[in-house]
Structure 1
Amino acid sequence: MILYPAIDLKDGQAVRLLKGDMDKTTVFNDDPAAQARAFQDAGCQWLHLVDLNGAFEGQPVNGAAVEKILAETTVPAQLGGGIRDMATIEMWLARGIARVILGTVAVEDPDLVRAAAKAFPGQVAVGLDAREGRVATRGWAEETDLMVTDLARSFEDAGVAAIIYTDINRDGAMQGPNVAATADLARATTIPVIASGGVSSLSDLVALRDTGVIAGAISGRALYDGALDLAAALAALTR
């Protein structure tokens, strides 16, 4: 199972939100590229980047910060937030992003997801963010009646590289991930599932790993707060 350290970008800074609320922001680093280098130096295999402003505005906002991270690191990075058309997908992949994450458009324009996954094999992931099992879009500001499992299954034949599943009520709350719901989703689809939201300790990671069906986990606040030691976590996941 791969651990993805998260760098959430808001106004050019590395931050964390509480349960997706842009008004409940904690700034952890004024230099996101320095944070990315620190994660890389600790041995991470991937970086998980989110343009929070972009998620709300529907277009890239923190592009300069993302490009600086790409310039100063060598590990692959996946990026979500504000990626809602083919031109933006092509732009980020051309600039060195290894994998784009499509969230809102997975609901609003699933044909774009299919076209992108076909055009860029292995480089398109779907971000499914949910409250009580129902998908939320547009920076988690809008809720739908779509169930996560149903939407995931609809992309079974699309060639999507991964599904990143976020339990919004767990995100940034340091309450542990929703292991059962994430494992259920992973068992319901053949697409690799990456857990996000609430990963706050080594025991959380071990619980996700021990399901045997979850491909990866994203952690942010716990790494910044020191509740989770990245080097120790990486060592545990490679045993």
Structure 2
Amino acid sequence: MIIFPAIDIRNGRCVRLYQGKFNRETVYDDDPVLIAKRFEENKAKVLHVVDLDGAFTGEQKNIEIIKKIVRSINIPVQVGGGIRSIERAKQLMDLGVYRIVIGTCAVKENMFVENLVKRFGDRVVVSIDTKAGCVCVNGWVESSSFKSVEFAKLLEEKGIKTIVYTDISKDGTMIGPNFEEIKKLKENTSLNIIASGGIGRKEDIDKLKTFGVYGAIVGKALYEGKIKLEDFVKNISLKRGEYFADKEDNSLS
């Protein structure tokens, strides 16, 4: 299972939100590029970067910081937040981003996912962010009528190979992810599942491994020292441009 250290960017700074609420923000560093370098030094194999401003507004105001991150490290970077057009996706790919993570447009625009998959293949990941069981959009502030498993099956039909699943009520809490829903997704689809939201201790990661999930995104627990990255990665790395395993690969545990 791959551990994805998370760098969430808002107003140019590295932050974490509590349950996706912008009024409950903790700033961990003014320099996200420095944080990215530290994660690489600690043997991270890949980074998960989110433009929070982009997720809320649909405009990527932190594009220059993302560019600096990608060009300052050698490991692959996947980026989400505000990617709502083919042009924006291509812009990020041209900067050296290895995979893009989309959310809002995957729900709202029927053909967007198919068009992205045709263009970029398995470098497209969809984020399924849920609140009270419903998939949310526009920076997690609006709910749709989709349920997570239902939506995941639709994405699978459209050619998506990998999803990020987040229970918003767990995000930033470090009380553990929504194991029940993650297990349902694993049992009802053949998707690569990246678990996110609430991971706060080693036992959470160990339990996710028993489900056979592809990866786990860890944010606050890393910043606050509850989880140490070096405890979960071997002394190997994926270089930018190398292929992410299509299925779970225990050599990347």
Deviations 1:181-209 (A, max 9, x none): 11211221112111000011111100100
AA paired with 1:71?
A: R
1:229 aligns with 2:252: no
Equivalent residue, structure 2, for 1:145: 145
Alignment of 1:4-83 (within 5 A): 4-83=4-83
TM-aligned CA deviation for residue 158 of structure 1: 2.4
Which residue in the other structure is 2:190 paired with? 190
Task: Give me the whole-angstrom Cα distance separating, in 2, the residues matched to 1:44 and 1:192.
Answer: 19
Task: Deviation per CA, 1:145-178: give whole Å up to 9, x if none.
Answer: 2111111101213222310000100000111111
Q: How does 1:107-122 map to 2 (within 5 A)?
A: 107-122=107-122
Query: Does the CA-based 8 Å contact 2:186-2:211 persist in structure 1?
Result: no
Q: What code does the residue aligned with 1:115 have? A: N
**Higher RCO, Cα 8 Å, sep 6+:** 2
Cα distance in 2 for partners of 1:165, 1:227 equals 21
Distance apart, 1:132 and its partner CA: 2.3
Contact 1:209 1:237 in 2 (8 A): no
SS in structure 2 of the partner of residue 170 of structure 1:
coil
Is this contact kept in 2: 1:206–1:237, CA < 8 A? no
**Matches of 1:203 and 1:93 in 2, distance apart?**
35
Bigger mean CA offset, 153-162 vs 188-197? 153-162
Per the alignment, residue 215 of structure 2 pairs with 216
Distance in structure 1 (CA, Å) of the matches to 2:22 and 2:150: 28
Identity of aligned residues (%): 37
Give the letter for the 2:87 counterpart: A
1: distance between equivalents of 2:210 and 2:251? 10
Q: Distance in 2 between matches of 1:146 and 1:66?
A: 31
Q: Deviations over 1:63-111 (max 9, x none)?
A: 1111110111111111110000111011101111101111000110131
Asked if structure 1 preserves the Cα contact closer than 8 Å seen for 2:55 and 2:138, the reply is yes
C-alpha separation in 2, matches of 1:44 and 1:215 = 15
For residues 108-158 of structure 1, give each alpha carbon's deviation from its aligned partner in whole angstroms, at most 9, with x where no partner exists: 013111110111112100011001221010000001121111111012132
RMSD of aligned residue pairs (Cα, Å): 1.4
TM-score by length of structure 1 reads 0.96
Shift of 1:44: 1.1
1:176 and 1:199 in contact (8 A); partners too = yes
CA distance in structure 2 between the partners assigned to 1:125 and 1:187 by the alignment: 19
Letter in 2 for 1:229: K
How many residue pairs are counted as aligned between the two chains? 238
Report if aligned partners of 2:195, 2:216 keep a CA contact under 8 Å in 1. Answer: yes
**What residue is the counterpart of 1:3 in the other structure?**
3
Deviations 1:21-77 (A, max 9, x none): 011110111110110011111111110000000001012111111111011111111
Q: Aligned-pair distance for 1:234?
A: 2.2
Structure 1 counterpart of 2:50, one-letter code: V
Tell me what 2:243 maps to.
none
TM-score normalised over the length of structure 2: 0.91
Give me the whole-angstrom Cα distance separating, in 1, the residues matched to 2:184 and 2:148: 11
Judge conservation of contact 1:2–1:237 (CA < 8 Å) in 2.
Answer: no
- Partner SS state of residue 180, structure 1: helix
Amino acid at match of 1:48: H
What 5-or-longer segments of structure 1 have no aligned partner? none
